[in-house]
Amino acid sequence: MAKSTFFNSLPTRDRKAAKGLVAPAVIGIWVVILFPLLYALYVSVHDWILSQGEIGRLNFSNYITVLQDPLLLNAAKNTVILTASVVILEISIGFGLALLLNNKCIRLRNLYLFILLIPMLMPPITVGLIWRLLLHPDLGIINYALSLVGLPQPIWLADPTLAMITIIIVDVWHETSFIILVLLAGLTSLPDELYEAAMIDGANAWQKFRFVTIPLLAPTILVATIIRMIAALKTYDLVYILTRGGPGIATETISYYIYKVFFVFLDMGKSSAMAFILLGIIVLMTLVLMRVMRRVEQ
Amino acid sequence: MKKGLLTIFGLLIIMSMLLSACAKTEQPVGPEGAKPFDGVTINVMMEGVPDTEYVQAQLSKFEEETGATVNIEVLNYALMHEKLVPQLTAAAGSGSYDLIVVDNYWVAEFNRAGWLMPLDDKIAASDKVKMDAYLPSMLEMVGTYEGKTYMLPFYNYAMALVYRNDLFTDPTIQAEYKDKFGKDIALPTSIPEYIELSKFMTRDINGDGETDIYGASMQGLRPDPTAMEFLNYLYSMGGQLYDLDGKVILTQEVGVAALDAYVDNMKSSAPPGAPSYGFDEAFATVAQGKAFSYITYNWMVPVLDNPEQSQVVDKMKVTAVPGGIGLLGGWGWAIPNSSANPDAAWAFIEWVESFDIAKERALLGGAPTRADVFQDPDVLAKYPHYKDVEKIVGDSIMFPMQSRAPQIVEVLGRVISETIAGSMTSEAAIQELITESNNLADK
Amino acid sequence: MLVKFKRNFGITISHFLLILSSLAILLPILWVIRTSLANRLIAYKIPPVWFFTPTFDNYLTIFDKYPFQQYFVNSLVISGIASIVALIIGSLAAYSIARFRTGDPWLRLSMLSTQMLPPIALVIPIFLIMRFVQMWDTLPGLVLAYLSFNLPYTVWILISFFQSIPVEIEEAAMIDGCSRIQSLVRVIFPVALPGLLSAGVFNFILNWNEFLFALILTGRNTRTLPVAIASLWTQQGVNIGAVSAATVVTILPVVILTYVIQKSLVRNLTFGSVK
């Protein structure tokens, strides 16, 4: 988006006032998070198993040790597969549905919206428990329905390849609502004038979509993608409830692995080190994503 | 917009009011004379299990006697550990929980960290608590640690074999068994016999070409469901992870034999989804009448006799794990060092573990830990199978008393799951288990 | 004729897709509602029993044995307050960043980066702080903790909304003689209303579903719905009927939320965007 000369021409007093508007948020965020962040950073370079006494000696090699852990590398691979799949699926499906819902000629669109937003209010723990009920290979309604129409009855979570696909399906079921909400709000806030102008210029539907909707909506899509990506990279609750990382190690994600090292092994040092490594990965992926999107935008 | 906001606000308020309308009004605590703990609140953290419900039902008696208010916060198993750990690290007297229950495999972890209060002095000074009433196996597991007493056993969850007696005694099936094996059908006395029987019982009863009775319902979910189940196989085949001194004594030979047997049963006699089953899925399979047997907690029979939950009412029987040695589990009452009211908490333990209250709990359906409760005529009259359960509890072996037990369970669960999934051989799995058990052992 | 056909065809396809996806959402939910009215035997029965006498035992369990009405109110209050506070503070910051590129890009990156650390690493230190300032198991404590992840997201969502509002609208208003505050309040906020509301809704949902902080930072007094639901998962198995009943209760606010969203969308249409 081009920088406005108008705003740049404002007097410095106004520009200072603008900085003041940011202050409460910055203070708010850092007050709550600064100490925990530094504390975690401090712990990440120390030996410390919570049940074995006080914080131990300084040990920078935590970072190296955890990077050599084959289980963490496996978890990283699974996390990338999971994140890429759910983000791509959720953004495409969510954008598609938001476009359909934005069409004012569609009747009952409030009803559709109502239904499509329901999953948002379900905590991951309920989503997991409920899908376990639905997906029970012998006693679940889904396999029963499949058997009625003569389709094979998969064992969903018991097969190493299928288990990951199942988690992806459940995640898409749960999280697409969020994308619909954000993109639909973005679409409705686009000024009608631009579409009118495009129509006067004789643009067809595709051209309006390509040259008005996409560029104007790009920042919103970027934000939705980044937020979903960050959340997906941190997935642990669904894995915890659906598979506990199994069968074998087929669905273990980084966050679930960190969670285990932290709460089960009580290894504060190593789990914090892993958390910062994950932080690094997420920052990197976000920067890449922003660059890519900026290029698309231009 | 104002109107819109008002409507929303109104809706919110109406919703909250509707919901709070169903709230029970709490009974005010009346000012009555001088009771020892008037005005004291005891905060207790417990797990959501039937025994906790029985305690909650009995609670008012204690509150009347002592004037104390007992707040029981109920959480599920996995979350308890997460929630307890930060609380337990609090300084003495400043914790949020005065009294907790401790699962046997946290015992070493909590005690090694120094989070629990030794109770020996309190026990010596008490005329109510009788330690010799407890079954020795329970006391060893959720009572003492390295010579000191930190807990009083609360209830047991020894594992046992639950099976379909109607199928077992069915004359047609018995005849078929005799035809096939040339001997009378009998309860298995070893794991290989159990696997043979499971395979035999896996059958298509209605003749539609699909198996509708599985020989064994099993739980292959990582980490504790599968690890706990597997340990019954290991123990019954003569294996153990550690000896009493905490040295690893598992041998490759026994370990591989037990794991192969476990995987064999999972693949040939359990439902195809069993590698992902947790307790719920496995239980539902039994409750819906789709399995012949299930190695589970000994107190599941009454649950399976409840027509609201099960289709196999009065058809289930319980016996020892084939081979005779199952996994013992149990919970104990403990006072954390961070407890703000240790005296009131101790008074509560004295009361809740007294014979009368423990017996009352057993009659409600609780799982006893005391020999005198197990042998009480009233209890035996109501639950005749408690004679067998007492023996099962006495013979079973607990999970090794190691401070990093949760991590050992995690490793065990992973290698079993990988063997089932085929990404590891049983030899490699046991190899890794032995190596990791050595690494994680308390030294 | 052809144009009309094409349009009708498009609408039919749209309806088809919308019905398909609505069913994908709705059928599992209906199954949950059914399960909430069944006992454990019926819940797992295959082939399913279609007609059975519904039991309200599961609702009795959650409202009588556990005070779910209390948990519901806790969740509602905490989520509501935390999202309103985040929206107020966050929208100011977002406007400033969107229009003046305050601290760009490092400010917004650093804000978001606080969200990239898995919360597990932060939960113990936050717990320690809350104990220290005596806010453990209090509503303000949880609200404050929630701000730590609410605020960055709010700012992020809103920046893009403010950016997607053409600067010209504001310029026009200011040339017409509005002060900047006036143009902000009278022109920008109404146009950004859908964005503000969706950010508010998003916050609310994040708070509503948050589990880890709620688990560690709450006690009996402030327990929220997700933690309460988790405690229906016992050693004797998941009380699936009660979980279903609790789920039905949990999704009740969707009624309000969709009302809010639709109201804002409709408003946006009636008043047009600018003028």
Q: How many domains does chain A have?
A: 1
**Does residue A139 lie in a domain region?**
yes
Please check whether residue B325 is in contact with residue B239, taking contact to mean a CB–CB distance below 8 angstroms: no
Mean pLDDT of B214-225: 93
Query: Is the pLDDT reported for residue B442 higher than 90?
Result: no
Please answer yes or no on whether A250 and B421 come within 8 Å at the CB atom: yes
Q: Is any Cβ of chain C less than 8 angstroms from the Cβ of B19?
A: yes
Mean pLDDT of C182-189: 77
> What residue ranges do the domains of chain C occupy?
67-231
Q: Is any Cβ of chain B less than 8 angstroms from the Cβ of A155?
A: yes
Backbone angles phi and psi of B128, in degrees to 5: -100, -35
pLDDT for res C1: 58
pLDDT for res A11: 56
Please check whether residue C19 is in contact with residue A110, taking contact to mean a CB–CB distance below 8 angstroms: no
Task: Assign C273 a pLDDT band (cuts: 50, 70, 90).
Answer: very low
Q: What subunits touch chain A, counting only 3 or more CB pairs under 8 A?
A: B, C
**Does residue A271 lie in a domain region?**
no
C105-114 residue pLDDT tens: 778 777 777 7
Distance from CA of C166 to the nearest CA of B (A): 23
> What residue ranges do the domains of chain B occupy?
41-156+330-394, 159-325+404-440
C216 CB neighbours in chain B (<8 A) are 82-83, 86
B267 CB neighbours in chain A (<8 A) are none
Kindly give the pairing relationship between strand C233-234 and strand B214-217.
unpaired
Which of A93-107, A271-285, C56-70, C152-166 shows the lowest mean pLDDT across its residues? C152-166
Please answer yes or no on whether A158 and B110 come within 8 Å at the CB atom: no
B121-151 residue pLDDT tens: 999 998 888 889 999 999 999 999 988 999 9
Query: Is the pLDDT reported for residue C129 higher than 70?
Result: yes
User: Which strands sit side by side in the sheet containing B41-47, from one edge to the other?
Assistant: B69-75, B41-47, B99-103, B330-334, B151-156
Please answer yes or no on whether C76 and B4 come within 8 Å at the CB atom: no
**Does residue A47 lie in a domain region?**
no
C228 CB neighbours in chain B (<8 A) are none
Asked whether the CA dihedral C117, C121, C127, C129 is positive or negative, the reply is: negative
Please answer yes or no on whether C229 and A139 come within 8 Å at the CB atom: no
Alpha carbon C133 to chain centroid, angstroms = 28
Please answer yes or no on whether A28 and C147 come within 8 Å at the CB atom: yes
Report d(CA C86, CA B411) in Å as an integer: 43
CATH number at residue A256: 1.10.3720.10
A49-84 residue pLDDT tens: 888 777 878 888 889 999 999 999 999 999 999 999
Amino acid at B45: M
Please check whether residue C85 is in contact with residue C149, taking contact to mean a CB–CB distance below 8 angstroms: no
Query: Is the pLDDT reported for residue B192 higher than 50?
Result: yes
Assigned architecture for domain B41-156+330-394: 3-Layer(aba) Sandwich (3.40)
pLDDT for res B7: 53
Task: State the fold for domain C67-231.
Answer: MetI-like fold (1.10.3720)
Residue of B nearest to A155 (CA): B273
| In the block, residue with structure tokens 């113990």 | C124
pLDDT for res B212: 87
Mean pLDDT of B4-26: 48
Please check whether residue C263 is in contact with residue B12, taking contact to mean a CB–CB distance below 8 angstroms: no
Q: What subunits touch chain C, counting only 3 or more CB pairs under 8 A?
A: A, B
pLDDT for res A216: 83
Average pLDDT, chain B: 88
Q: Is any Cβ of chain B less than 8 angstroms from the Cβ of A134?
A: no
Please check whether residue B161 is in contact with residue B236, taking contact to mean a CB–CB distance below 8 angstroms: no
Q: Is any Cβ of chain B less than 8 angstroms from the Cβ of C73?
A: yes
Please answer yes or no on whether C18 and A106 come within 8 Å at the CB atom: yes
pLDDT for res C274: 36
pLDDT for res A170: 96
Q: What subunits touch chain B, counting only 3 or more CB pairs under 8 A?
A: A, C
C14 CB neighbours in chain A (<8 A) are 100, 103, 106
CB interface of B with C, residues 222-241, below 8 Å: none
Burial B337-358 (b: 16+ CB within 10 A, else e): bbbbbbebbbbbbbbbbeeebb
**Could you tell me which of B267, B297, B191, B274 has the C-alpha nearest to residue B235?**
B191
Range of the domain at A147: 73-266
pLDDT for res B21: 46
Please answer yes or no on whether C259 and B8 come within 8 Å at the CB atom: yes
Task: Assign A297 a pLDDT band (cuts: 50, 70, 90).
Answer: low
Q: Is any Cβ of chain A less than 8 angstroms from the Cβ of C256?
A: no
Mean pLDDT of C164-187: 77
Report d(CA C138, CA B134) in Å as an integer: 41
**Superfamily per CATH, domain B159-325+404-440:** Periplasmic binding protein-like II (3.40.190.10)
- ipTM of this predicted complex? 0.84
Report d(CA A209, CA A214) in Å as an integer: 6
Q: Is any Cβ of chain A less than 8 angstroms from the Cβ of C80?
A: no
**Does residue A3 lie in a domain region?**
no
pLDDT for res A10: 57
